[in-house]
Amino acid sequence: MESMDAGLMPSPKLERQIKSKERVSKHGEVFTAEREVNAMLDLVKQETERIESRFLEPACGDGNFLIEILRRKLAVCEERVKRKQFTQLQYEKHAVWAVSSIYGIELLPDNAAACRQRLYDYFCEQYERLFGDACKPACRKAVEFLLERNIIMGDALTYRRVDHPDEWIVVSEWSFIGDGKVVRRDYSFSYLVATGQGGDLFSDTPCDTFPPVYFLNLNQQAYEN
């Protein structure tokens, strides 16, 4: 175990895993190192490379696990482009689908914001590297909207929002139904508390359902909330 005793400086490796001793003491905040992230994700390697496979990180920090999951999913999309299996539009649809499958809950606002930005920046880097000037602003906006919905500022232990502690965390399910259309259903964490047991995150009756929308127009729902 690496020492953090008074008068001793943490090692460079540990410095990358903590922001401050105060945050460790107050929130138990220690970020998982890249090596450990990959070792754990390799245990479910097949799922990390399946576009539609959903992942929820209940204490996501600034996204060490989620960025690696996104990297693996987008690498699959890119490989299909290189093999001429995907057109640009097919890549866009599946890349947006990949983003929609990644969820994070985070207690600290700065971490939640950093996680959203980190995932968004990585998506844009890969997208622009493949398609350059042909990239669509609508695709970027769809991803930005998804990350705003899917990276949630909340307490995974109480299932409550941080900004509104009297409100339950609400998680959106995104179902791709053909012709590039997506159905959004919102689910409240409250039923997990009421039943006193876990289960499928989307097994209860949704608290809200939205009409199908073309995947490149997802951000339009931002004005319907």
Q: What is the mean pLDDT of residues 56-85?
A: 95
Among 14-18, 59-63, 87-91, the range with the most confident prediction by mean pLDDT is: 87-91
With a cut of 60, say whether residue 173 has pLDDT above it.
Answer: yes
Q: What is the mean pLDDT of residues 29-46?
A: 77
Domain of residue 202, residue span: 23-223
Residue 194: band (very low, low, confident or very high) from pLDDT cuts 50, 70, 90: low
Q: Indicate the residue type of 105.
A: I
Taking the CA atoms of 175, 177, 180 and 184 in sequence, report the sign of the dihedral they define.
negative
- Domains contained in the chain, number: 1
Percentage above 70 pLDDT, the chain = 78
Q: Residue 95 in contact with residue 102, Cβ under 8 Å?
A: no
Domain annotation covers residue 6: no
pLDDT for 26 equals 40
With a cut of 80, say whether residue 17 has pLDDT above it.
Answer: no
Q: Over the Cα atoms of the chain, what is R_g? A: 19
- Please give the DSSP secondary-structure letter assigned to residue 17: T
Q: Are strands 151-155 and 102-106 parallel, antiparallel or unpaired?
A: parallel
Return the axis-axis angle of helices 109-131 and 88-100, rounded to nearest 10°.
Answer: 170
Among 38-42, 91-95, 161-165, 216-220, the range with the most confident prediction by mean pLDDT is: 91-95
Residue 10: band (very low, low, confident or very high) from pLDDT cuts 50, 70, 90: very low
User: Which has the higher per-residue pLDDT, 105 or 25?
Assistant: 105
Domain annotation covers residue 17: no
Residue 9: band (very low, low, confident or very high) from pLDDT cuts 50, 70, 90: very low
Residue 32: band (very low, low, confident or very high) from pLDDT cuts 50, 70, 90: low
Q: How far is CA 215 from the centre of its chain?
A: 17
CA distance 225 to 208: 10
* Cβ partners under 8 Å of residue 94, min gap 6: 51, 77, 80, 86
